[in-house]
Amino acid sequence: MTITRADLERLDADDPLAPFRDRFDLPDGVIYLDGNSLGPLPRATRDRLRDVIDREWGRDLIRSWTDNDWIGLPARCGALIAGLIGAAPDEVVAADSTSVNVFKLAAAALAMRPGRRVVVSEPGNFPTDLYMVQGLADLLGPDRVELRLVERDLLTAAMGPDVALLLLTHVHYKTGAVHDMAGLTAAAHAVGALTLWDLAHSAGALPVDLTAAKADFAVGCGYKYLNGGPGAPAFLYVARRHQEAARQPLSGWMGHAAPFAFDDRYAPAPGIARHLCGTPPVLSMTALEEGLKIAAEADLAQVRAKSMRLGDLFVSLVEQMCGPEAPHLVSPRDGALRGSQVSLAHADGYAIVQALIARGVIGDFRAPDVLRFGMAPLYVRHTDIWDAAAHLAEVLRTGEHRQDRFQARKAVT
Any catalytic annotation for residue 198? yes
Any catalytic annotation for residue 359? no
Which one of 34, 96, 129, 198 is the catalytic residue?
198
- Concatenating the DSSP letter of every residue in 93-109 gives EE-S-HHHHHHHHHHHH
Which one of 76, 104, 116, 372 is the catalytic residue?
372
Q: Exposed e or buried b for every residue in 106-138, given b needs 16+ CB within 10 A?
A: bbbbbebbeebbbbbbbeebbebbbebbebbbe
Q: Exposed e or buried b for every residue in 37-66, given b needs 16+ CB within 10 A?
A: bbbbbbebbeebbeebeeebbeeeeeebbe
Which one of 20, 24, 103, 126 is the catalytic residue?
126
145 neighbors 119 (Cβ within 8 angstroms):
yes
H or E element that contains 7: helix 5-13
179 neighbors 168 (Cβ within 8 angstroms):
yes
Distance (Å, whole) CA 158 – CA 319: 37
Which one of 76, 104, 224, 274 is the catalytic residue?
224
Distance (Å, whole) CA 218 – CA 165: 12
Any catalytic annotation for residue 223? yes
Distance (Å, whole) CA 373 – CA 353: 10
Q: Exposed e or buried b for every residue in 393-403, given b needs 16+ CB within 10 A?
A: bebbeeebbee
Which one of 20, 103, 173, 223 is the catalytic residue?
223
CA-nearest of 375, 371, 361, 382 to 327 is 371
The partner residues of 342 in beta bridges, in order of sequence, read 373
Q: Show the CA angle centred on residue 170, arms to residues 211 and 309, nearest 5°.
A: 100
Any catalytic annotation for residue 126? yes
371 neighbors 343 (Cβ within 8 angstroms):
yes
**Residues labelled catalytic:** 126, 198, 223-224, 372
